[in-house]
Structure 1
Amino acid sequence: MKNKTFGSALLVAGTTIGAGMLAMPLTSAEMGFTYTLILLFSLWILLSYSALLFVEVYQKAERKEAGIATLAEQYFGMGGRIITTLSLVIFMYAILAAYVTGGGSLLAGLFDFLGDSAKPISIILFTIILGIFIVISTSAVDALTRLLFIIKLVAFALVLTMMLPLVKSENIVAMPLKDFLIISASPVFFTSFGFHVIIPTINNYLDGDIRRLRIAIILGTGIPLVAYILWQCATHGVFPQSQFIEIINSDPTLNGLIAATYQATNSKLISSAVRIFSTLALITSFLGVAISLFDCLNDLLQRINIRAGRIGLGVLTFIPPLAFALFYPDGFIAALGYAGQLFTFYGLVLPVGMVWIARRRYPDMSYRAFGGTIGLVIALLLGLLIMCVPFLIEAGYLPKVIG
């Protein structure tokens, strides 16, 4: 029993830690380490709370293996199912687009001799090579992911081992250069705590045991929080803020992060370790999201009696994010920001709405998430604010996170 709980916590942690953490230093360069910590803790509390709201709702689920779209239909009817499914599919497309642009930019460093053609060719190669594993089978994706995940952990440990001793106190205490950056960066950071799509899986795995599900969520989100703090400490502490901002503004991609690492440490070993870790984080995240989107599209088509075949599903899965990456090759941060908007609805606004109805429909529920009605209202308001952030940035009411 305990092993299942711990295994579920690791599943939560593994789903949470991904390519989103790579964007953290890019979007928080002007924010400083102190405000970055505040944002990390705030979003950890908020998204752990929203996950516990799902736990509360699952007490009255018609089936313990019910998906979140099924729960939405239970409380909001078919309209709720449709909106939830659409938000999930578009979210996965958006975050897949971010991974393709990020992976393409990292791979482009190997093809500098191609000049301006390096980036589009790298984006296409990144998508096709990894897409082949998706089309072959889920077991092929599983085998590749297991191998790369182990290497990724080793690379991350190596990066921290080499960078943390180089942290300087004057870099750590750097303050924000613009007001309200902590709000502007929230959608990108929001995606870094996104694991809610697997709650139905672990709820079924734990046989609907509410207590063990709560432990798995708290422990499973605590592991990424520690990893994120160490990662942010390493980057903010090693990079002088002014130098870091200058490099990032000139190259707002993951290559900019690697270039900043080299300039700050003057070590090809450290910058190469950061490149390896970044590449593996992107690939493992890409594979996880891509196979989820692949299966989701398959289920949707089967509901309307269309059989597309694995190659057809592969085309539907990868053409939209590939097109985005080719037209916006530097759109890594932008795509993550829009993904954060959609995930905010799916991972925060939706569970607040379901719990609001559930507490009135089922007043006898044995478990209720902390905070009462006030907690629901605060979570809803914060969710709506985060969803509006990209529009507020575009309108000039909030500063851009880069530039």
Structure 2
Amino acid sequence: MKTTPSILGGACIIASVCVGAGMLGLPSSGAGAWTLWSVLALVVTMIMMTLSGWMLLEAFQHYEMRASFNTVAKDLLGSRLNAFNNLSVYFVGGILLYAYITSSGAILQGLTGLDSKLASILFVAVFSFVVWHSTRAVDRISVVLIAFMVLSFAFGVLGLLGNINLVTLFDLDGKESHYAPYAMAMLPVALTSFGYHHSVASLRAYYQNEQQAKWAMLGGTVIALALYVLWLVGIFGNLPRQEFAPVIAQGGEVSALLSALSGVIESEKVASAINGFSMAAILSSFIGVGLGVFDYLADFFKFADSRSGRCKTWAVTFLPPLALSLLFPFGFLLAIGYAGAAATIWTCIVPALLVLRARARATNGEVHPRFTTPGGRVMAYLLILFGLATALFHFMAMANLLPVYAGHGG
């Protein structure tokens, strides 16, 4: 008798896809909005990203279980729009690799004393080899890294939560009600932290139906949201708002955040756990995203799955982000923000367009849908507006047209 996969198992898959190095940018991006407004921004983003995943499910149900995001988008939206969607997926992958390489160099510099650029080169040389070697190697090291992340996160966050200062957490000496405008600039980073949409087709095939996949996706985004809120509460309850000034001045670099935290955490074990979690999160995300970009480019350029072919794929996957990291180390937070702005295309706009097109076809006499996302056309248009607004907020913040917290007053 064939057993049905559990909802919890699928939820954990989605949560593990969401939770990674992106969450390391949440404290710095949310420092202006602080606790209440940052949590509200995360909740709104989580709801919209769950609904957008459901819209993909609704569009996918008219295709065979093995149909991919690329296949469905090409059929419903045409080759040109699908190519633009694929380009945005690649851009997000590339900019995330750039962010991970830059941050790893800065962290390793603090740990070993090596020059940050040399440390970045060594990081790529060692860990991109795992991706070059095989998917199986990525699988094995990912299991170890995720287990380490769970343990170090639990120990580190519990240590932070046990030392919370409520005056610091809710900035009772300030005026948190005035911090709402800063939440707009946080949305692109929040959106990046809920980017699981490339896994929707796989989850549907895993369950062989949409209803279970729907609940697994909701469970996964709720788990991710809970972890993010615990992370923010732990940090904001220990590190006063004004002490984010040096972190923000360094572009939200993870190394700067860890340095600031080390000044307020009394326990060396807790500080070590958070440092370990941060490095494991970056490494896990690096090889996970690297594998996705590696496979995408191998297919795009039609490189053979041989040693020479994989070397060519390795070069086009890892050398461009490494070169950009060495030449233009703009900072972790800025890169994550750009990734979030670009990700709105395939996490918000394209899912809404796909579901509107799929519903139009169904109305014209095609198969009656088994699964429908709540909210109708209005929700699809709201998702498009949310995506456009999130991207716009990022570019407005870059142009100083939005209030951006610099760590002093405000």
TM above 0.5: yes
- Residue 372 (structure 1) aligns with: 376
Q: Which residue identity does 2:376 align to in structure 1?
A: G
- Residue 127 (structure 2) aligns with: 130
Q: Could you list the per-position Cα deviations for residues 269-311 of structure 1 after superposition, in whole angstroms to 9, with x for gaps in the alignment?
A: 2222211110000111111100111111111122999996111
Report SS of the residue matched to 1:287: helix
* Equivalent residues, number: 397
1:179 and 1:396 mapped to 2: Cα distance?
A: 17
- Residue 202 (structure 1) aligns with: 203
TM-score (norm. length: structure 1): 0.93
Report SS of the residue matched to 1:181: helix
Higher mean C-alpha displacement, 393-402 vs 146-155: 393-402
Aligned 8 A contact 1:66 1:200 in 2: yes
Q: CA deviation at 1:377?
A: 1.4
TM-score (norm. length: structure 2): 0.92
Spell out the pairing of 1:389-400 with structure 2 (5 A cutoff).
389-400=393-404
1:369 and 1:362 mapped to 2: Cα distance?
A: 14
Determine which of 31, 35, 38 is the counterpart of 1:36.
38
- Residue 51 (structure 1) aligns with: 53
1:26 and 1:176 mapped to 2: Cα distance?
A: 19
1:149 and 1:387 mapped to 2: Cα distance?
A: 30
Report SS of the residue matched to 2:401: coil
Determine which of 165, 168, 190 is the counterpart of 1:168.
165
Aligned 8 A contact 1:262 1:271 in 2: yes
Q: Which residue identity does 1:159 align to in structure 2?
A: G
1:163 and 1:387 mapped to 2: Cα distance?
A: 33
Q: Could you list the per-position Cα deviations for residues 81-121 of structure 1 after superposition, in whole angstroms to 9, with x for gaps in the alignment?
A: 21121111111111111111111111111233x5xxx1101
Aligned 8 A contact 2:303 2:309 in 1: no
Q: Which residue identity does 2:333 align to in structure 1?
A: I
Q: CA deviation at 1:2?
A: 4.6
- Residue 284 (structure 1) aligns with: 284
Determine which of 140, 144, 147 is the counterpart of 1:143.
140
Aligned 8 A contact 2:211 2:371 in 1: no
Report SS of the residue matched to 1:185: helix
Q: Could you list the per-position Cα deviations for residues 107-141 of structure 1 after superposition, in whole angstroms to 9, with x for gaps in the alignment?
A: 111233x5xxx110111111111011111111111
Q: CA deviation at 1:402?
A: 4.9
Aligned 8 A contact 1:5 1:206 in 2: no
Spell out the pairing of 1:154-303 with structure 2 (5 A cutoff).
154-174=151-171, 175=176, 180-207=181-208, 209-249=209-249, 252-302=252-302
Q: Could you list the per-position Cα deviations for residues 38-79 of structure 1 after superposition, in whole angstroms to 9, with x for gaps in the alignment?
A: 011000001001001011101112x22111111111111211
Q: CA deviation at 1:168?
A: 0.9
Change (3 A) 1:19 1:177: farther
Aligned 8 A contact 2:303 2:310 in 1: no
1:70 and 1:306 mapped to 2: Cα distance?
A: 26
- Residue 356 (structure 1) aligns with: 356
Higher mean C-alpha displacement, 133-142 vs 265-274: 265-274
Change (3 A) 1:132 1:303: closer
Report SS of the residue matched to 2:162: helix
List gaps (5 residues or longer) in structure 1: none
Q: Which residue identity does 2:350 align to in structure 1?
A: L
- Residue 9 (structure 1) aligns with: 11
Higher mean C-alpha displacement, 47-56 vs 392-401: 392-401
Aligned 8 A contact 1:69 1:80 in 2: no
Q: CA deviation at 1:204?
A: 1.2
Aligned 8 A contact 1:352 1:380 in 2: yes
Aligned 8 A contact 1:178 1:399 in 2: no
Change (3 A) 1:177 1:235: farther
Report SS of the residue matched to 2:215: helix
Q: CA deviation at 1:256?
A: 1.4
2:303 and 2:29 mapped to 1: Cα distance?
A: 40
Higher mean C-alpha displacement, 38-47 vs 173-182: 173-182
1:275 and 1:289 mapped to 2: Cα distance?
A: 21
Change (3 A) 1:402 1:120: farther
2:28 and 2:270 mapped to 1: Cα distance?
A: 18
Q: Could you list the per-position Cα deviations for residues 229-270 of structure 1 after superposition, in whole angstroms to 9, with x for gaps in the alignment?
A: 111110011111112334543573111111121111233322
Identity of aligned residues (%): 28
Aligned 8 A contact 2:41 2:183 in 1: yes
1:205 and 1:227 mapped to 2: Cα distance?
A: 25
- Residue 150 (structure 2) aligns with: 153
2:247 and 2:281 mapped to 1: Cα distance?
A: 22
Aligned 8 A contact 2:251 2:333 in 1: no
1:315 and 1:244 mapped to 2: Cα distance?
A: 37
- Residue 78 (structure 1) aligns with: 79
Q: CA deviation at 1:376?
A: 1.3
Q: Which residue identity does 1:215 align to in structure 2?
A: W
Q: Which residue identity does 2:188 align to in structure 1?
A: P
Spell out the pairing of 1:328-343 with structure 2 (5 A cutoff).
328-343=328-343
1:121 corresponds to 2:147: no
Q: Which residue identity does 1:322 align to in structure 2?
A: L
Change (3 A) 1:191 1:136: same
List gaps (5 residues or longer) in structure 2: none
